[in-house]
């Protein structure tokens, strides 16, 4: 039964991720998804992500809820993304989300042209 719950959470997570990306990563009326799983992020995938998010005009929102080290994970990603030249790279509020943090997050999400989820335990993202 525990594995059924875990599987169900993974499916819900995938749906939520897809919906968030569909809302925020819109380029020329097309929605795109770049999936990078585990390990080193391929430079070509990162470059394509920034390109699809708007290139130099890209506004990237990093959601760190899956990692136990959100700030250091963000700094690492910020350096990688900065080399690709987007307009901005911002960190979503760290969990747990209070009412104020939720408002900040929704504002960030509305402004973002690309959303990047950090690595880690993605079940934590579902919990948020």
Q: Distance between CA 73 and CA 19 in Å, rounded?
A: 23
Q: Distance between CA 36 and CA 9 in Å, rounded?
A: 19
What's the pLDDT score for residue 35? Answer: 81
What's the pLDDT score for residue 39? Answer: 76
Alpha carbon of 57 to those of 45, 76, 98: distances in Å? 18, 21, 30
- Choose the weakest-confidence range: 12-16, 49-53, 122-126: 12-16
Q: Are 60 and 84 in contact (CB under 8 A)?
A: no
Q: Are 70 and 53 in contact (CB under 8 A)?
A: no
Please say if the pLDDT value at position 69 is more than 70: yes
Taking the complete model, does pTM exceed 0.85, yes or no? Answer: no
For 91, the 3-state DSSP assignment is strand
């Amino acid at each position: 039964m525990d594995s059924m719950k875990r599987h169900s959470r993974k499916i819900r997570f995938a749906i939520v991720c897809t919906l968030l990306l569909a809302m925020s990563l819109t380029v020329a009326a097309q929605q795109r998804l770049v999936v990078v799983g585990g390990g080193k992020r391929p430079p070509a995938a990162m470059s394509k992500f920034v390109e699809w998010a708007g290139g130099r005009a890209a506004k990237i929102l990093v959601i760190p809820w899956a990692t136990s080290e959100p700030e250091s994970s963000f700094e690492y990603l910020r350096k990688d993304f900065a080399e690709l030249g987007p307009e901005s790279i911002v960190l979503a509020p760290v969990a747990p989300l209070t009412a104020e943090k939720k408002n900040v997050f929704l504002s960030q999400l509305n402004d973002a042209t690309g959303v990047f989820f950090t690595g880690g335990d993605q079940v934590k993202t579902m919990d948020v």
